[in-house]
Structure 1
Amino acid sequence: MLNPYKNKCPCGSNKRYIDCCLISPKFWNRILDRQKIATSLRWKIIDFATSTLSEETEEALCAYFQNSYSKPADIPDEQMGAFIDWFIHDYQLPDTGSSVLGLFFEKRYRLEDVERFLTSGWLTSYNNCYLTIEINPGYWLIVQDIVTGEQFLLANPELSEMTPPWSIFVGRIVSLGEVFEFDFIHHTLPPTAFSVVKSTLISTYENRQLEFNNLSYRSYMQHFLSPILPRLIDEAIQLDDLLPTDAFHKDLLPYKDFFDWLCVSFFDENLIDKPADFEVIVQELTKTDTLDKAFSSWPGDFTGNTEELESFLSWLEFIDACMVIHYGKQPPFDFSEKSQLLGLEKPVLPTFKPLAITRTKINEESQALEKISSVLHNHMKNRYPDKQIEAAILLWQHYLGVTNELPDIRKPATWAAAVEYCLIKLLSLPITQKEIAEEYAVSSSSVSRISKIISSRIDLDSLDKSSFLR
């Protein structure tokens, strides 16, 4: 199933399901809840490995780092994630021949039913290379297996906001039911590396096929290449493989060094020197229409074939998105006319926003979460058990995650009272709206109004009470 995400939504909206009901609060929040459960389970697995397999962990450290480190505490932070991914999934324990993950599931180590469901495919997961072909910022990305073309919808609000189109990921994806997520990302590369990555994967597979008849590509990736793939890609990539210069016509060539650095540094900033006039160029390309004019005149006098021009256009789309997301260029350039000019059927790019804006929203959300959570705790600590206080705070966090615009919290007590009242309705507790208003010294009408605002974004009847009292 190479293109499973084009189906129309059954609600009759005539939109795709992934653009309609999937991202509605009712369904999307369930996906985010699954992510939290999966994240918690990863920590259970790591705790299992470090607490019951201490000797095996030290042996694995020596094997992975070639005796450079002998204890987990010695590993640099930037290398810890890659080691854990390899140790849990790919390292074969000496006595059993099983992976750490396999042994964990065999012992059913404190697993709940929902954890078993969400992780049923983890044992067969493997590192692979994926091209980002579509993005809905704030929600999801669709990535495509570079060799087979198989597509996966990844639920990741933050990653979708900071990933330029056509980025390449080297990592492991795992299932969350109908969607997927990255378990770990080893490398990110610009689209300029697509050809060398694909040819590396195909050539190594063909070489292995000579040894094993009827070896499928999936089996090859899972059993042979996954443990070494990150290092293989690292060794295969050369500086020239990352340069976008082939896509430039005369109006873009004056900025060659800047765009070379932009693409190369996306993978490894140590491979190339940063241009001396970097800040000056950033100001020119983000504060004027110079770059948009250069894009408008592209492809100029290029005479390449359609396949080459399609690749080059993807590189330019990547560059423009990088300028928007990381350097604040506004507005993004509309490449749809270029696609039509070349006769290409490419997805319309989303409207990206600068990270400065999206990160500011995250910071504001954190402040709002902390402010109301503090008021809730102070008013509920002598009247509710800890689990219900945690449930109220989780409900508030839930609301912040689904609302399009942050609320104006000039009176925190009113919002806290409304959150508690929503919890009361969710749990069917025998407490009146008037009692809540008196507790927080606010008007009953304000509690009613704000609770309706919260309920308009969260369908309380659809929520699983147990997930708020876990």
Structure 2
Amino acid sequence: MKNMKSGCYCGSGKKAEECCYRDASVVDLTQYRFDQAERELRIKLVDFSHRPEIQAQLGEAFYIWKNDPELSLADLNEEDIDDQTFERFFDWFIFDFKLLDSGKRLLERFYEEYGETLSDTERTILKDWMGNTYSFFEVEDIIEKEGCYIRDIFTGEVVQVKDSSASNKLSRMDIIGARLLKTGNNVYFSGVISVYPQAFKTLIIDFVSREFKEYKKTFGRKRTYQEYLKDWGYLIGQYIEDIVKKPRFLTSEGDELVFASAIYEISDYKKVLNRLRKIKTLNEISGGTDELRVFSWITKGKHKLSGTIELEKDRLTIEGYSLSLLAKAKNLIERKLHGLVTHREDRIKEFESLLKSPPSETQKIKKLPFGVKSSSELDTILDEYYDKWIDTPLQILEGKTPREALKTKKGREKLEYVLRELENVYQHAKERGEPYYDVEKLRKKLRLE
């Protein structure tokens, strides 16, 4: 076994005492031995995978992993496969792929042939790895320069992962695809992790729910979720890849899904409010104040929520989920409020833009909003906005204000989700150098610390 003067297990090339174990006073020697054994085991596995009869199966394995019926094996040139793609594939090949000549996974075959020659520590690690699966997680918390806490979006299990580099790149509420490897008392990421915005969570859960049912129909009802992930889990990644390459999201009417809004300046608040209340397809959400009143807009005859209309002292904002719905709402408002509103601008944001991974480097605010002269002024504006926000009825809270939502368990759960989503949005805004707000202030105001 290597000692503290040896190269660190992380592969940095530095001595262990100068790298991950530089604070020798707190070194867990048992964990250190596990980490060293893990590194040596990885080397042995890679060497084993280079055997000619195994290398000969790489092409067919890649064809299966890509799940692309149009892919020709002749197209698999190394220069066409980027490093991250190959690393993701090779991780799957090592842990999940069933070798074509034996029907066994590479780890199982390695254990059969070399298990007796391994140390007790290596055998313990290998047995843990053999039951391992690739899964998807939601980032619960970040431990600076150390790692993160993540929750499996399917099982709800929370795990602490040791990975200092990930703590710099991930944000709370991010959705990640990753394989976790247990080594002693620690858990590490294996290979490349894929990071997705929160918008992917529902898409992934819905896809897995459908596929798991198909899996059990194919292989038997007694098949477990872990077996599904082991056998078909790689399809989840390909499904997401297809979304990113060819994103197309439609409303129930068949229109392209976008986040569309129209902003109007109003001339007489009371008259506008009275006329809005007379429109049959609008439903005023209870709890509003003269600072902000919200109306849900129901499509006539279909009883479907088509968008919202927000009324403030000096402006009215329409929000809808397609260009056609926005056009209908604008026509309605301009007819019913003729002479009371003046159109100022439309804002359109494609849903595809929400599916792009955010940059990882933290930056200072590059550009302040129009009319704001300093960061301190921006902080004041945001503080004032969220002071009002906690007493503003929200549709996602079923018409309750955040303060009112605190009174019930269900309300607190929904409010916590809203706050976590805000944290995720503002964290990525911060990373892009855009204006952001410290959501911890909201927690303090709501006494949720």
Give the structure-1-normalised TM-score. Answer: 0.54
- 2:299 corresponds to: none
Do the aligned partners of 1:168 and 1:189 also contact (CA within 8 Å) in 2?
yes
What is the alpha-carbon distance in structure 2 between the residues aligned to residue 285 and residue 185 of structure 1? 42
Q: Percent sequence identity over matched residues?
A: 16
Q: Does the CA contact (< 8 Å) of 1:62 and 1:69 recur in 2? A: no
1:7 is matched with which residue? none
1:312, distance to aligned residue in structure 2 (A) = 2.9
Shift of residue 168 of structure 1? Answer: 0.9
**Number of residue pairs the alignment of both structures matches:** 312
1:176 positional shift: 1.5
Match of 2:229 among 221, 225, 236: 221
| Equivalence map 1:184-263=2 (5 Å) | 184-211=191-218, 212-223=220-231, 225-235=232-242, 238=247, 263=354
Write the mapping of 1:157-168 to structure 2, written as runs, cut at 5 A. 157-168=164-175
Question: Hey, what's the Cα distance between the residues in 2 that align with 1:323 and 1:194?
Answer: 20
Amino acid of the structure 2 residue aligned with 1:46? V
CA separation in 1, counterparts of 2:430 and 2:40?
34
Kindly indicate whether the alpha-carbon contact (under 8 Å) linking 2:147 and 2:167 is maintained by their aligned counterparts in 1: yes
The one-character-per-residue Cα deviations of 1:203-232 (angstroms, maximum 9, x if unpaired) are 322343445223332232223x22322112
Q: Give the distance between the partners of 1:215 and 1:340, measured in 2 at CA.
A: 48
Q: Is the aligned partner of 1:83 residue 2:89?
A: yes
Conserved? CA contact 1:166–1:318, under 8 Å: yes
What is the distance in 1 between the residues matched to 2:31 and 2:199? 33
| Native 8 Å contact 1:101 1:123 kept in 2 | yes
Structure 1 counterpart of 2:84, one-letter code: E
In structure 2, relative to structure 1, the CA distance for the partners of 1:70 and 1:236 (3 Å cut) is closer
Please give the alpha-carbon distance, in whole angstroms, between the structure 1 residues aligned to 2:359 and 2:74.
23
Shift of 1:128: 1.0
Hey, what's the Cα distance between the residues in 2 that align with 1:260 and 1:86? 30
Q: Secondary structure at the match of 1:172?
A: strand
The Cα shift of 1:333 comes to 0.9
Quote the offset at 1:42 in angstroms. 2.7
Q: Is the 1:187–1:267 Cα contact (8 Å) retained in structure 2?
A: no
Map Cα deviations across residues 56-89 of structure 1 (whole Å, 9 max, x no partner): 2343345445325446566322311111012112
Equivalences for 1:234-383 in 2 at 5 Å?
Answer: 234-235=241-242, 238=247, 263-266=354-357, 279-280=366-367, 287-288=375-376, 290=378, 292-293=382-383, 294-298=385-389, 300-305=392-397, 306=411, 308-325=414-431, 327=433, 333-335=438-440, 337-338=442-443, 341=446
The whole-number CA distance in structure 1 between the counterparts of 2:377 and 2:32 is: 39
CA–CA separation in structure 1 for the residues paired with 2:194 and 2:80: 22
Structure 1's 249 and 311: CA in aligned 2 closer, same or farther, altered over 3 A? farther
- The structure carrying a bigger helix percent of its residues is 1
Query: C-alpha distance in 1, partners of 2:356/2:259?
Result: 12
Q: Any conservation in 2 of the 1:282–1:327 contact (CA below 8 Å)? A: no
| Aligned: 1:175 with 2:176 | no
Letter in 2 for 1:154: V
CA, structure 1 residues 220+322, in 2 after alignment: closer, same or farther (shift >3 Å)? same
**How do 1:105-144 and structure 2 match up within 5 A?**
105-108=111-114, 111-144=118-151
Using a 3 Å threshold, how does the CA distance of structure 1 residues 39 and 155 change in structure 2: closer, same or farther?
Answer: same
Distance 1:338 1:302, change over 3 A: farther
2:443 and 2:309 mapped to 1: Cα distance? 14
Measure, in 1, the Cα distance between the counterparts of 2:414 and 2:50: 49
Deviations 1:304-337 (A, max 9, x none): 223554433222101222244564979x714363
Partners of 1:142 and 1:63 in 2: how far apart? 32
Question: For 1:266, what is the secondary structure of its paired residue?
Answer: coil
Alpha carbons 2:359, 2:432 under 8 Å: kept: no
Match of 1:45 in 2: 45
Question: Deviation at 1:39?
Answer: 4.2
SS of the residue corresponding to residue 234 of structure 2 reads: coil
- Evaluate the alpha carbon distance shift between residue 58 and residue 148 of structure 1 in structure 2; reply closer, same or farther with a 3 A threshold: closer
CA distance in 2, matches of 1:295, 1:154: 33
What is the rounded CA distance, in whole Å, between the counterparts of 2:142 and 2:40 in structure 1?
Answer: 26
Identify the residue that residue 57 of structure 1 maps to in structure 2. 58
1:96-142, Cα deviation, whole Å (9 max, x unpaired): 11122222222227744333222321111111111111221122312
Measure, in 2, the Cα distance between the counterparts of 1:247 and 1:76: 44
Residue type of the alignment partner of 1:88: I
Backbone CA RMSD of aligned residues? 4.5
User: What residue identity is the alignment partner of 1:229?
Assistant: I
- Output one character per residue of 1:217-264: Cα deviation in whole Å (capped at 9) or x when no partner: 2232223x2232211233467576999999999999999879988853
Larger Rg: 2
- Give a deviation string over 1:152-192, Cα, whole Å, max 9, x none: 11111121232110111112111122231111345211223
Partner Cα distance (1:165, 1:176) in 2: 25
Does the 8 Å CA contact 1:56/1:93 hold for their aligned counterparts?
Answer: yes
User: Tell me, which stretches of 5 or more residues in structure 1 are unaligned?
Assistant: 1-22, 270-277, 349-470
Deviations 1:260-299 (A, max 9, x none): 8885332799xxxxxxxx9535997994553643555445
Residues of 1 paired with 2:132 and 2:354: CA distance? 29
- Could you tell me which runs of 5 or more consecutive residues in structure 2 were left unpaired when the two chains were aligned: 1-22, 251-256, 261-306, 320-344, 398-410
SS of residue in 2 equivalent to 1:119: helix
> CA–CA distance in 2 between the matches of 1:259 and 1:249?
21
CA distance in 1, matches of 2:311, 2:129: 49
Q: Give the Cα–Cα distance (whole angstroms) in 2 for the partners of residues 120 and 69 of structure 1.
A: 36
Q: Distance in 2 between matches of 1:288 and 1:40?
A: 53
**Counterpart code for 2:141:** E
